[in-house]
Amino acid sequence: MARRRGLTLVEVLIVMSIVAILIAIGVPTVRALRESARRHACGQQLRRIALKLREYYEQKRRYPLSLRDLYSQGFVQEVSLLRCPSDPRREANFDDPFYGYDLFYASRDPSESKDALAGGCAFHSGDRGLVVFLDGTVEEARFDKAKLTSATGQVEVRPREKVEWVPAEVGMELRPGDAIRTGPGGRAEIAFFGETSKIEVLEDTILVIKLLLRDPDTLGLRRLLGLLNGSIWCDVDDNVYTEENNSFEVVTPSVVAGVRGTRFYISVTNEILLGKDIDGDGRKESIITYIYVSHGRVLAKFKGRRIRLRAQKGLLFKLRPKERFKFRAGWEGDEDHEDDENGD
């Protein structure tokens, strides 16, 4: 009887098919396991960051403008803590204002409770991500999207996974962590899905879409925007933000503005004057936030105070970054505002 020396063509094809099936099953499984491990590590890092924020507050009676301040001021020893393991921006510079979790971080006001939303991470697969609160609680959340509905003049977008700015295109989706920048004469409009709220971004402005949550069963509907500089008009749908868990907030370097069914204008500028400041370095620098309410109301949180602005009121908030622990404000327009120490 002749001795078989190998596999037949049919057997080879069967073996190859089995190997291909095993690879097709195994590769996604390995990827899923790796992503699960990264997500878990991300959650642990966010909890540690929340604890460091609390330490920072206990010493300085304020929260840092940037998470990078935790490292530069010695509260965090490892800069890797400030960056998600799934963050693809390996070439990002530490001096970048969008470094690591700073894309999603909001510098909260001392008047806010420990359950205030402090940030999160959207670098994980799908529309699910993580959010962290000041008390260290980390929860999974479903993220939403916005849409660029208009762009004229110089308008650019920086996707969260990139370090470069790219030309904006009308109709493009904006996700948590994406930023939009307008130049001289540039204007853009942003709309939110499932509501009539919209943002008009004026010229010379940088706006970050920090967090967009749509999780009706747990966290509610939350919009958290970061205005670094420049000006925006906000039209907030008054049929949406009436529920207790729903919120629409704009955070600037000095003010947290929360609204319910409002049209308001908010701008951020830097003012530099010659002369000695408190450190004698030869110049005085102030961060100025101005808020004007067209209709509705805005609750502004500024250095431990809660100030309610009603329609046709304008307020100017002025402070120095080195003196953020002191309350300094100048008022423009009518002074018939309400100083609301207890909130709504």
Position 341 confidence tier, pLDDT thresholds 50, 70, 90: very low
User: In angstroms, rounded to a whole number, what is the distance separating the alpha carbons of residues 143 and 117?
Assistant: 14
How much is the pLDDT for 332? 34
Within a domain: 271: yes
Within a domain: 282: yes
Within a domain: 101: no
Kindly write down the DSSP assignment for every residue of 278-310, as one continuous string: TT-SSEEEEEEEEEEEEESEEEEEETTEEEEEE
Within a domain: 240: yes
Which is more confidently placed, 135 or 28? 135
Provide mean pLDDT across the span 160-176.
96
Strand partners, 309: 298
Q: Which of 150, 151, 98, 119 shows the shortest CA–CA distance to 52?
A: 119
pTM: 0.81
Residue numbers of the domain that contains 298: 140-339
CATH number at residue 260: 2.60.120.1440
Q: What is the pLDDT of residues 44-91, one digit of tens each?
A: 999 999 999 999 999 998 899 999 999 999 999 999 999 999 999 988
Which DSSP letter does residue 59 get? H
Q: What is the pLDDT of residues 91-104, one digit of tens each?
A: 888 989 999 999 99
Which is more confidently placed, 342 or 309? 309
**Percent of the chain at pLDDT above 70?**
80
What's the total number of domains in the chain? Answer: 1
Within a domain: 226: yes
Kindly write down the DSSP assignment for every residue of 7-34, as one continuous string: --HHHHHHHHHHHHHHHHHHHHHHHHHH
SS (H, E, C) 149-194: EEEECCEEEECCCCCCCEECCCCCEECCCCEEEECCCCEEEEEECC
Position 331 confidence tier, pLDDT thresholds 50, 70, 90: very low
E runs forming strands in 25-172: 117-121, 128-133, 138-142, 146-152, 155-158, 166-167
How much is the pLDDT for 199? 97
Within a domain: 204: yes
How much is the pLDDT for 88? 93
Within a domain: 39: no
